[in-house]
Structure 1
């Protein structure tokens, strides 16, 4: 049964100027669960600027008078077979209404792209038992578990020795370098949970509107003239934690087991320490088919936060 929006609420799409109100609402929820806002104003603005995001159709702000009482949005990429959503509302009746809007829009994506069903994912902090129970009641199931990993830098970190036969390309300012990084990313992550391959044009556009990213922060490793590994870093965690962030680390299957991932990580640690960062952060899927978690632990990183990805298979 579809939930009905109570009369005390009004609804409209978000505008860029609503970013602070969205941050305040989401931040208050996050603080209540994990003790920190975990979002910044740039994070919200970047989401609203996402090239594939249509605020007029993909998001809803719900007000009680002038107060923002809840919001929901859904993001698609690539072939829209897998979508990501966020819904925040203290009123559980309003939460259900927003989830219905998200699922309705999810079906529209599915029909437009010829899918019989679409995977709808949302992230819940493992510490929030009440929300996890509600998601289960709404028909979601745990798809995987992510750990936020961190290593602290208390001084200078030495640059690692470049592995034999490897050429390091620092920065990808030109299209050739960007295409090389994009190719490694799509090939290395193919088939992993929640990953949707994107065309080069869609991927580049998303990178360029990300306020915390610059092409100079992307590193590509070549062997015999072929790109075989990449690391894409950004400043997403600088404002709130003064930490560098590894957004993506990818190594082609044929190049694994040669220490390339550890080299890229240690290289980034040295870069972040030299830039005065307190540490380096990344997220890892603990069910990753590659031994990624073991690699991160082996270079001194530790888990500081556990998040679950809950998935709903939405029939179109």
Structure 2
């Protein structure tokens, strides 16, 4: 049952014009937990305008008078087996209300896609013990843990040698190269925690809509004319930390053991240092079936933040 808000509170769906208010709310909350915003206005705008996000049914703004005190959202992609959700507020009553609305809408989305249950996923900073306890009381449990990895650049970084037999394609400006990158992502990540297979068209549209993404920031590695690895970068952390962000790093099983992932990382470090970036960031699932954490540690990256993914299974 959805929690009841005080009579003075009002609720309405968000629009893109609410991006500043959402940013202010989320940044203020994050400051209380980790000491910095860890969120940008671009992040807020991109969330509210993500292709496939229906704010009229899948988003909630809670106001106490004119003051925004809560923001909630639920978003599905691919086959909608997993829904990403967020509920940001410092008020436990508002949080309970948002969790109720998100659960209700999650059931509707699952039923609409022919599922008998659905997974609701959200990220919680390891330091946010209060929110974790409230979510666990609401039926959420830890599914995996993501470490934000970072390496700082204090001057020029030497470019690594290209592995023998490998061709580097910088940028994916056309549909053929974008489809090749999409194929590598699907082949490498299918079956991993929280990953939903998206059609090429959905994947492409999502990238096109991101204000911090450019196809020039994607790279492919080819062997014998076939794409076997990819790297995707965005400007998501440039505004607040002047760091490049590696959003995806994928290598096909058949091409593992050739040093391709290390090359892609070191190549990006060199590019970022040359561009004046103070560092490079990425997130790694520490329960990844491949030894990804060890890979990032081996190239000099260190942990800067820990985020637990909490999951609740909701029956329709």
Any idea what the Cα deviations from partners look like across 1:70-128, whole Å, max 9, x if unmatched?
Answer: 11001110011101111012221111011110011101110010011000001000001
Matched, 1:255 2:255: yes
The CA distance in 2 between the partners of 1:310 and 1:166, in whole Å, is 39
Equivalent position of 1:107 in the other structure? 107
Q: How many pairs does the alignment contain?
A: 316
Q: Displacement, 1:257?
A: 1.3
Paired position in structure 1 for 2:155: 155
Structure 2 residues without counterparts, runs of 5 or longer: none
* SS class of match (1:216): strand
Alignment of 1:226-265 (within 5 A): 226-265=226-265
Q: Does residue 1:71 correspond to 2:57, yes or no?
A: no
- Separation in structure 2 between the aligned mates of residue 94 and residue 203 of structure 1, nearest angstrom: 33
1:195 is matched with 195
Query: Which contiguous aligned blocks of 4+ residues in structure 1 show a shift greater than 6 angstroms?
Result: none
CA distance in 1: counterparts of 2:43 and 2:50, whole angstroms: 11
Question: Offset of 1:2 from its aligned partner?
Answer: 2.9
| SS of 2:213 mapped into structure 1 | coil
Give runs of aligned pairs for residues 282-301 of structure 1, distance below 5 A: 282-301=282-301
**In 1, Cα distance between the equivalents of 2:193 and 2:216?**
28
Matches for 1:1-316 after TM superposition, within 5 Å = 1-316=1-316
Q: Is the 8 A contact 2:2 2:101 kept in 1?
A: no
Could you tell me which runs of 5 or more consecutive residues in structure 1 were left unpaired when the two chains were aligned: none
Structure 1 SS opposite 2:124: strand
User: 1:77 and 1:231 mapped to 2: Cα distance?
Assistant: 21
Question: C-alpha displacement at 1:5, in angstroms?
Answer: 2.3
Deviations 1:134-189 (A, max 9, x none): 11101000000000000000111111100001011100000000000000001100
Q: Tell me the CA shift for residue 254 of structure 1.
A: 1.1
What SS does structure 1 have at the residue aligned with 2:87?
strand
Distance 2:34 2:301 in 1: 20
Q: Deviations over 1:210-268 (max 9, x none)?
A: 11110000000011111100000011100000000000000011111110000000001
- Taking the aligned partners of 1:224 and 1:14, their CA distance within structure 2 comes to 49
Q: Distance in 1 between matches of 2:118 and 2:206?
A: 22
Root-mean-square deviation (CA, aligned residues, Å) is 0.7
1:19-42 deviation per Cα after TM superposition (whole angstroms, max 9, x unaligned): 111111111110001000100000
Cα distance between partner residues in 1 of 2:242 and 2:89: 29
CA distance in 2 between partners of 1:119 and 1:15 (Å): 26
Structure 1 Cα separation of the partners of residues 241 and 54 of structure 2: 30
